[in-house]
Amino acid sequence: MSYAVVIPTCGRPSLDVLLARLLHDGAPGSTEIVVVDDRPAAAEPLTLDRRVRVLRSFGRGPAAARNAGWRAVGAEWVAFLDDDVVPGPDWGRRIADDLRGVPPTVGASQGRIEVPLPAGRRPIDAERGTAGLASARWITADMAYRRVALERAGGFDERFRRAYREDADLALRVLGAGYQIAGGRRSSTHPVRPAGALASVRAQRGNADDALMRRRHGRGWRERAGDGPGRLRWHAVTTAAALAALGAAAARRRRVATGPALLWGGLTAEFALRRILPGPRTAAEIGRMVASSIAIPPAACWHRLAGELHWRRVRPGGTSGGPGARPPLAVLFDRDGTLIHDAPHNADPAAVRPVAGVKWALDRLRGLGIAVGVVSNQSGVARGLLTGEEVARVNARVAELLGPFDVLCVCPHDPGDGCGCRKPAPGLVLVAAAELGVPVERCVVIGDIGADMEAAAAAGARGILVPNGRTRPEEVRAAAEVAADVPAAVAIALSGSLW
């Protein structure tokens, strides 16, 4: 049994505390610790202990960050920790015990979450919300998944851009794939973070994610996730009563407005009391609860409506789609820096090193019957740094390691030659599409620099950027679509289709 630890981070100082605990106590069976930095591309790279591997996911959200992490490791299990939890002092030994010898039908192991609440007073609303994590199902604050279960389920759905519902969605898909989720003996502490006065109102954005959950998993998803019925229906009644009262008042029909106004007042008071009575009942807390209880119902309804409209084409159990959606017929990849680690003007097949996760992504496309190809600038030929035969041998080694390609197009020209094939010109993309016999608008180009995206746009194809150390920040900002890694880019390429 082996496992890797993956920690997505948005740069919170608590990450240092978490890593100090893991590195100090050790983790029997752990192969490596991976931190996925999900801050925007403009952020300065994290400087961490040399024993920690750092990846970037460029602000695409925790689902994309976790995908980048687990696809980069080869351990049998992947243990996900949030960057604001503190593992127990014996966490390493206990997770090893939790994962050792579990039957193959178990696809995940959930750790216990403890939320310390303040002593000497009742918790405020925000603190009670955090305390709910202690009894929540499947939260990835401390959750380990068997790698094969992640692969079978397709990983986290990156359309969940917030730290909300992405964990329940994955767990439901893992259960649907025939696996069980077991409870572990290890525990982690989740401190209560300070929350602003409008935190509960901002949290209503999660209603849009609930719309995606309903589209993916059907109307009974809450019951299966153990989440309870929710309060959206009452929020809808409250909001409708407020609108009816305001409409009648605007029309100067005061008697008509009285009924809905009383209904709105009664429902709002009941909602506020539900939140005030368990708390400390200070003047400040009561004021926050009254104000937010007025704002929450319309905010919840607005975000749910926006979510329903946005995700209306999502098919249950699938990805985006609709009558007008068409899957790509071909996905064309840049070679150096995208499929394999960049070794400038490489003439040695022995130096070819595939990027982690690429083989999995290519096989996924092949399994769907989608053509895969390579479009690569090789100016070293024109500069006399390598020969066409050497390029061919390197390409043969790439195919040997990653599987066969349906088309492979190379531009041997120097940037000053003025050819029409060298990216950012569209020639390579157009030739590849022609050789495959597919319309170029049904092609997706995946690459690591701006020239790849410009070539795709010039040819009329869709471009998805996968940044790395040589990608300039302005190229990331200019890209229409950005993915944390190649598997994520393939997932994006397939979204908007019926797959």
Task: Tell me which of 157, 167, 210, 334 is the catalytic residue.
Answer: 334
Using CA atoms, how far apart are residues 13 and 23, in angstroms rounded to an integer? 16
Q: Are 443 and 437 in contact (CB under 8 A)?
A: no
CA distances from 73 to 81, 334, 361, 383, 467 (A): 15, 23, 14, 37, 19
Q: Tell which residue, 327, 440, 326, has the closest CA to residue 375.
A: 440
Using CA atoms, how far apart are residues 36 and 56, in angstroms rounded to an integer? 5
Q: Which residues contact 243 (CB under 8 A, 6 or more apart)?
A: none
How many residues does this entry show for the chain? Answer: 499
Query: Helices 283-310 and 206-217: crossing angle, nearest 10°?
Result: 40
Task: Tell me which of 336, 406, 452, 485 is the catalytic residue.
Answer: 336
Using CA atoms, how far apart are residues 263 and 265, in angstroms rounded to an integer? 5
Residue 157: active-site member: no
Provide the edge-to-edge strand list for the sheet that holds 52-56: 52-56, 30-37, 3-9, 77-81, 142-146, 106-114, 180-189, 86-87
Residue 210: active-site member: no
Q: Are 285 and 276 in contact (CB under 8 A)?
A: yes
| Residue positions annotated with a catalytic role | 334, 336
